[in-house]
Amino acid sequence: VRTIADAESEAERQTLGRIAIRKVAVGSAPRVMAGATLGEATRAIRRSTGRDRVADLVIDALDRFAPACEAAILLVVRGATAIGWKGFQRAGGGLPEIAVPMDDAGLVPRVVELNVTMRRAAADLDPIDRLLLGSLGHTDGDLVVVPIAIADLVMCVIAIATPENAPLAS
């Protein structure tokens, strides 16, 4: 899996015959609205049985109940990589495919290691974190990374782009 830290190869830039090879952005999660309040949405997430449904509900809850969240993506930790799964952008359009290396410096590996939420302003981000924020469609503001742990083991994280110092509910 090519991560956001890897340079694009010559083969990815070339064309095949006369047909240009292009990457297709992954679309936003479909609207799944469960619950009229954050409490009801949280209950729906906890009661869901399938991981796809849980992910859709989490992204929907962020979209509806976290107005400071301008973009978010759920990343699944798989070995040395955290791979983008589902997400959204308030500005519209889809998010690109994202894979974050876990062996480099950055917020995602730290959050997975420490199992704590971390937040940094764009000016203070490491190069990988700046690429992640850019993949969320932003060059300024803050990058927030929230762990999702099962039995104290971080399995996923949510990467969120917010305006600088914007308040986020827990």
> Quick one: average pLDDT of 101-109?
91
* Average pLDDT along the chain: 84
Give the pLDDT of residue 11. 58
Task: Give residue 48's pLDDT.
Answer: 87
- Give the pLDDT band of residue 5 (cuts 50, 70, 90): confident
- Torsion sign, CA atoms 133, 170, 45, 156: positive
Residue 132 host element (H or E): helix 127-135
Residue type, 72: A
Examine the pLDDT at 19 and tell me if it is beyond 80.
no
Share of the chain above pLDDT 90, in %: 49
- Locus of tokens 């979209």: 63
- Read off the pLDDT band of 114 (50, 70, 90): very high
Predicted local distance difference test score (pLDDT) of residue 34:
67
What's the CA gap between 120 and 9, in Å, rounded? 30
CA-CA distance, 169 to 44, in Å (whole number)? 18
Between residues 7 and 36, which one has the greater pLDDT?
36
